[in-house]
């Protein structure tokens, strides 16, 4: 891997179709811009169509010849996910790239999705588990499909407690978020293992500490931002364009391999260019990954087809 991999090294994506969840802002938007710039047809998956339309106008102003569209996709609703997947299947076209990016972080009080799941676990993990499974026929129809799932440094403190998976017994905002991000990695690596005899590769990534809206609007972080960002930002944070580089590397670099974990290569992986990232032991637990997969199929009702 190049020590300073940048968007200049993205190979042509002409003829490819990419779907990015949460693409109206932050890392998702930056990934959409660069994939469109490289020639891909980009679907901006968004919950709010007005915000999505604004992002699309901004994208087209940045990349005038962009091939892009907004699609409604609420990752906190299995009905929305199913409706999108059915609509995409009706297009009868392959999906070359799926970037599972949308997320919510450390909600101060326990909330639930439309399906009754704890909102962070339901949105960050179960929604993307369901979406990926429902789109699997279109992914497997592509010549070299990739699934990139955006995790977080927070996985380091994550724990999958199957007795409190939905935080019914006890809800701690950062614990729930960390568990959902750990689930992202376990899912991504289990998917790659199951797809070992297919063309599909699955790669988890993390953006370091990027100054995206999910960070700026997180509970307790607005005050922190007002007091400390001016001093600490140059040392600890990076902008969302840099934060998107691990995602773009995993999505496009010919040398990116399934099952790798990619993040910034700087101090403590806070910022920097894409490089190998550290997985904590709980993220390598294949037994937990297999159990989480089975539970996720049960909760979502999405059963994956054979991936060979």
Separation between Cα atoms, residue 173 and residue 151, nearest integer Å: 16
CB 173 within 8 A of CB 107: yes
CB 158 within 8 A of CB 178: yes
Helix (H, G, I), strand (E, B) or coil at 294: helix
Would you state the torsion angle of the CA atoms of residues 274, 276, 277, 280, taken in this order, to the nearest 10 degrees?
Answer: 170
Compute the distance between CA of residue 18 and CA of residue 147 in angstroms, rounded to an integer: 10
Give me 183's structure tokens: 């689930």
Question: Could you give the 3-state DSSP secondary structure of residue 103?
Answer: coil
- Of 29, 177, 261, 273, the active-site residue reads 177
Helices (H) and strands (E) in the chain, counts: 12, 8
Burial of 298: CB neighbours in 10 Å, binned 0-12, 13-18, 19+: exposed
146-150 sheet: strands from edge to edge: 67-72, 41-46, 17-21, 97-100, 146-150, 201-205, 262-264, 274-276
The Cα 93–Cα 142 span in angstroms is 8
Q: β-strands 274-276, 262-264: how paired?
A: antiparallel
Across 188-204, b (16+ Cβ under 10 Å) vs e yields bbbbbbbbeeeebbbbb
Active site residue 171: no
Instruction: Catalogue the active-site residues.
Output: 177
């Amino acid at each position: 891997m190049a020590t300073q991999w940048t968007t200049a090294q993205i190979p042509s994506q002409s003829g490819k179709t990419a779907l990015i969840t949460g693409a109206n802002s932050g890392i998702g938007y930056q990934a959409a811009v660069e994939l469109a710039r490289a020639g891909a047809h980009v679907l901006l998956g968004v919950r709010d169509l007005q915000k999505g339309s604004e992002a699309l106008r901004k994208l087209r102003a940045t990349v005038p010849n962009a091939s892009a569209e907004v699609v409604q996709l609420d990752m906190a609703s299995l009905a929305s996910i199913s409706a999108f997947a059915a609509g995409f299947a009706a297009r009868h076209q392959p999906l070359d790239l799926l970037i599972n990016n949308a997320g919510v972080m450390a909600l101060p009080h326990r909330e639930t999705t439309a399906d009754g799941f704890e909102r962070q676990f339901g949105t960050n993990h179960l929604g993307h588990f369901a979406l990926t499974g429902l789109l699997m026929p279109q992914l497997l129809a592509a010549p070299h499909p990739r699934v990139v799932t955006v995790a977080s440094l927070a996985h380091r403190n994550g724990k999958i407690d199957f007795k409190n998976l939905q935080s019914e017994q006890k809800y701690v905002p950062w614990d729930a978020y960390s568990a959902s991000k750990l689930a992202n990695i376990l899912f991504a690596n289990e998917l790659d293992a199951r797809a070992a005899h297919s063309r599909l590769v699955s790669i988890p990534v993390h953006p370091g500490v990027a100054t995206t809206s999910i960070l700026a609007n997180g509970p307790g972080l607005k005050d922190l931002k007002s007091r400390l960002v001016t001093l600490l930002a140059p040392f600890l944070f990076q902008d969302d364009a840099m934060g998107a580089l691990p995602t773009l590397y995993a999505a496009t670099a010919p040398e990116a391999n399934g099952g790798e974990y990619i993040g910034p290569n700087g101090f403590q992986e806070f910022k920097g260019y894409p490089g190998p990232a550290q997985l904590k032991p709980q993220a390598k637990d294949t037994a937990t990954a297999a159990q989480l997969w089975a539970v996720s199929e049960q909760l979502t009702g999405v059963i994956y087809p054979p991936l060979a």
